[in-house]
Amino acid sequence: MTTTAKNYTKGREGHHIQVLILHSAENQELPGQAEHLAQWFAGENAPEASANEMIDNKVIVTSVDDVDTPWATDDFPINLVSENYELTGHAANTAAQWQDAYETSVIHLAEGEFKKDMVKYGIPAKHLTDSEIVAIHKGNTALKGIATHADITRALKISGGHTDPGVNFPLADFMKAISA
């Protein structure tokens, strides 16, 4: 695979992936949205942002290879050490919306991808605390785990930051599933 996103940084400046980060893409909940999102990140009018993998209810599409650095969290030190997954959905989803048939399929695909990548990068099924995120940001290479975009925003006090995948995302269930 070759990175297709327009905006990313080639390579990882010698860093290794320590954190797997969940995002919500804020796009339509329809089949084909993973490819659509990857095309958007690659397009002429692409945002100054990118992510590694887009996940809809049917497929996972890579937009930034894991050897390259996505512009995903508004924090370059975290971007250097993270793999970022855009789930088709909305941060404003209710708990019921995250449990509908479409989102259930998205989440199950994400769980499988996380399990695979946890093995690949030696990352435990551990939800990182704010202090651990700050330590990773400051260069701690021993810590590894899982975070949401909202966790990164909160821990690093990023102004105007993100709340995805939202307060109603079933994170406890997701962490349980990737632990199994």
> For 25-29, 67-71, 103-107, which range has the lowest pLDDT when averaged over its residues?
25-29
The model's pTM: 0.97
- Report the pLDDT value the prediction gives residue 161, as an integer from 0 to 100: 78
Q: What is the pLDDT of residues 30-55, one digit of tens each?
A: 899 999 999 999 999 999 999 999 99
Length of the chain: 180
- Give the contacts of 117 (CB within 8 A, at least 6 positions apart): 17, 20, 83, 123
Q: Which amino acid, one-letter code, is at 22?
A: L
* Burial track 111-123 (b if 16+ CB lie within 10 A, e otherwise): bebbeebbeebeb
Is the confidence at residue 152, as pLDDT, over 90?
Answer: yes
Q: Round the average pLDDT of the chain to a whole number and report it.
A: 96
